[in-house]
Amino acid sequence: MSRVFPEHHRRRVESLNGLWDFTFLGNVTTRDVKPAELRFDDRMAVPGCFDTTPRYAGQRGLTAYQRTLRLTDGARHRLRFEGSHHITTAHLIDRQRGTSRQLGQQIGGFVRFHFDLQDLPAGEYDLVVLVDNRIDPARCPLHQAYMDWYHHGGITRDVELHRVGDLWIESLAINTLDVTAGKFSLALEWAADREPGQVPLTISCDGRPLESGNIQLTGKSGRIDRQFTLPGAKVWSPESPTLHDLHVELGPDDLCDRFGLRTIEVRGKDLLLNGQPLQLRGVNRHEMHPQFGHAQPLDLLVQDVQIIKDMGCNFVRGSHYPQDPRFLDLCDQAGLLVWQEAIGWQHKAEHLTNEYFLSLQEQQIRAMIGATQNHPSVILWGILNESESHIPASRPAYERLLGLIRRLDPTRPVTYACNHPQDDLCLDLCDVVSINTYPGWYWREIENIPQELDAIVGFMRDRKVGDRPLIISEIGAEALAGFRDWNADRWSEPYQARLLETVIHHILSHPKDYAGLAIWLYNDFRSSEHVSRIMNRARGFNNKGLVDEYRRPKMSYDVVKRLFTQS
């Protein structure tokens, strides 16, 4: 199930998760493959990362997945993927009639996409999905070999078959208008194969009816806007994460979603949640595990939320791609605030001036916001981690992508993580300034950290962006789990613990200068196989986690927990 609660009561939804037929095709192109002639010699779990299994560990190439699809009637169906890596091409084969059709192709991972099945008779079909996890900057520039995480491959999140019929709900956006009055708005996008005419519309919240009656729909698509007030509704906050269940029925279709009444805004140097100043205390999180790669089982997501909350965190930065909607569901329930960002890591000016790259980024942003905009836990949208925002030619890309986010969702602040504050040229485009910095690790010593952090505050003032919130979005040190000696030097657990204690003491004692802190990072994770990256990463891992890759705590875990919970 793609969410931790049911999204539909009326619409027929079939989970396609489970064991699929599988074959590893290797170094061939999709043009060389005839899906109807493939022979499958293995089985693979969906969702899952094929390259975390022993037989295919570390392999890159084209793969093929297959399973039977049964259509009980000729209505429009929708094949929905929550995530697949990195280039996904789906085919539907009708062996009885000897036909095959390509349903579509998706480029880039970590986001929801779908293919519609139309004008097909009832019966059994073979669904063949080609998934290519090779790093191919020309075809998929979102993924680069030098990036500091391992790009796993496979169908990594849930797959579902939706029967949508001839009238369906495309999306539902819910926004808080007034937290104290319990007032919210909804915008429902619908589509149809033919003009619907008059259809029934029912809207309820927490089981209470808000609207019921007929509505006239004209054309083949449209939008329905409504505003409602929930008397006595409670505000959503980290201390009291109250959620409300909204259910919309439009003709034969329906959609359920959960939301929280809360506002997030920037006022001067403050980030305000429900009108009150907020100081973010949190971690960066990679969706990675040695056994599962990017395909996180629900029990691991539950553990991650429990561990992060146990440290006294109120904030998670999803680095460096959109997080699983189920993880966001759990953050909604737990009261964890989230920075959700589109995929990006040190992209160059050559990418940021490339129309194909920017169009893929726009697809990512639209998919990310469309799938996760109703989560009250999401308080920030981000893009392009540590990219070349100091190059003049890059500025139009930042204007374009941040502008798109603001048009799609004007209710949340926008930001990006910058690692060169001295000469950045785009920070004025952000609502919140976010800086990645590593004093005491890549340069200078622990004793110099307060001075280095204060220098960033000065840079912001000099660059005319000192009047907005500042988040230290990455800072930390690597520690090999279990490595402790009398020197307590770099790579040891005591060194990491001492560095983070210095960082946290300084930031928490200067709340007027810093709106938040996201420690790099929550969990150790496997880095790129790129040789120059591995040679700077012991074990081939980024080891800056407060817990190791199996979620076992290091010394720094207790330090962070003590400092985050005592003040």
Q: What is the mean pLDDT of residues 542-560?
A: 98
Q: For the beta carbon of residue 214, count every other beta carbon within 10 angstroms.
A: 11
Residue 232: the pLDDT is 87
DSSP state of 265: E
Residue percentage of the chain with pLDDT more than 70: 100
Distance of alpha carbon 119 from the chain centroid: 34
Residue 499: the pLDDT is 98
Please list the alpha-helical segments (H only) found in 417-530.
449-462, 493-508
Summarised one tens digit per residue, pLDDT across range 532-547 is: 777 889 999 999 999 9
Structural domains present in the chain: 12-163 (2.60.120.260), 167-264 (2.60.40.10), 279-566 (3.20.20.80)
Are the CB atoms for 107 and 142 separated by under 8 Å?
Answer: yes
The confidence band for 530, taking pLDDT boundaries of 50, 70 and 90, is: confident
Query: Does residue 151 register a pLDDT over 80?
Result: yes
Distance in angstroms (rounded) separating the CA atoms of residues 316 and 281: 8
Of 114-118, 344-348, 526-530, 550-554, minimum mean pLDDT range: 526-530
Q: For the purposes of burial, counting CB atoms within 10 Å of the CB of 312, is it exposed (0-12), middle (13-18) or buried (19 or more)? A: middle
Which phi-psi region, left, alpha or beta, contains residue 463 (left: φ > 0; alpha: ψ -120 to 50)? alpha
The confidence band for 567, taking pLDDT boundaries of 50, 70 and 90, is: low
Query: Does residue 323 register a pLDDT over 80?
Result: yes
Q: For the beta carbon of residue 210, count every other beta carbon within 10 angstroms.
A: 17
Are the CB atoms for 279 and 504 separated by under 8 Å?
Answer: no
Report residue 303 as tokens.
């553990």
| 3-state percent helix, strand, coil for the chain, nearest multiple of 5 | 25, 35, 40
Are the CB atoms for 259 and 184 separated by under 8 Å?
Answer: yes
Query: Does residue 377 register a pLDDT over 80?
Result: yes
Distance in angstroms (rounded) separating the CA atoms of residues 381 and 341: 6
Distance in angstroms (rounded) separating the CA atoms of residues 115 and 105: 9
Report residue 125 as tokens.
């079909």
Cα dihedral 200, 201, 205, 206, rounded to 10, equals 20
Distance in angstroms (rounded) separating the CA atoms of residues 503 and 500: 5
Q: For the beta carbon of residue 295, count every other beta carbon within 10 angstroms.
A: 25
Distance in angstroms (rounded) separating the CA atoms of residues 518 and 464: 23
Question: Tokens 């080891």 belong to which residue?
Answer: 543
Query: Across all residues in the chain, what is the average pLDDT?
Result: 96
Q: What φ, ψ does residue 253 adopt, rounded to 5°? A: -105, 165
- Amino acid 410 reads P
Q: For the beta carbon of residue 277, count every other beta carbon within 10 angstroms.
A: 15
DSSP state of 523: B
Query: Does residue 565 register a pLDDT over 90?
Result: yes
In whole angstroms, how far apart are CA 454 and each of 162, 423, 457, 458, 505? 53, 16, 5, 6, 13
CA nearest to 513, candidates 557, 452, 469: 469
Report residue 323 as tokens.
């997080």
Report residue 153 as tokens.
């491959």
Query: Does residue 1 register a pLDDT over 90?
Result: no
- Amino acid 482 reads G
Radius of gyration of the chain measured on its C-alpha atoms: 24
Q: What is the mean pLDDT of residues 363-390?
A: 98
Summarised one tens digit per residue, pLDDT across range 110-127 is: 999 999 999 999 999 999
Residues 444-454 as b/e (b if ≥16 CB within 10 A, e otherwise) read: eebeebbebbe
Summarised one tens digit per residue, pLDDT across range 452-506 is: 999 999 988 888 898 999 999 999 999 999 999 899 999 999 999 999 999 999 9
What is the three-class DSSP state of 244? strand
Summarised one tens digit per residue, pLDDT across range 241-269 is: 999 999 999 999 999 999 999 999 999 99
The confidence band for 96, taking pLDDT boundaries of 50, 70 and 90, is: confident
What is the three-class DSSP state of 493? helix
Q: For the beta carbon of residue 480, count every other beta carbon within 10 angstroms.
A: 17
- Amino acid 558 reads D
Q: What is the mean pLDDT of residues 352-376?
A: 98
Q: What φ, ψ does residue 62 adopt, rounded to 5°? A: -85, 135
Query: Does residue 371 register a pLDDT over 70?
Result: yes
Q: What is the mean pLDDT of residues 86-90?
A: 97
Q: What is the mean pLDDT of residues 148-163?
A: 97
Q: What is the mean pLDDT of residues 54-79?
A: 97
Cα dihedral 150, 153, 158, 162, rounded to 10, equals 140
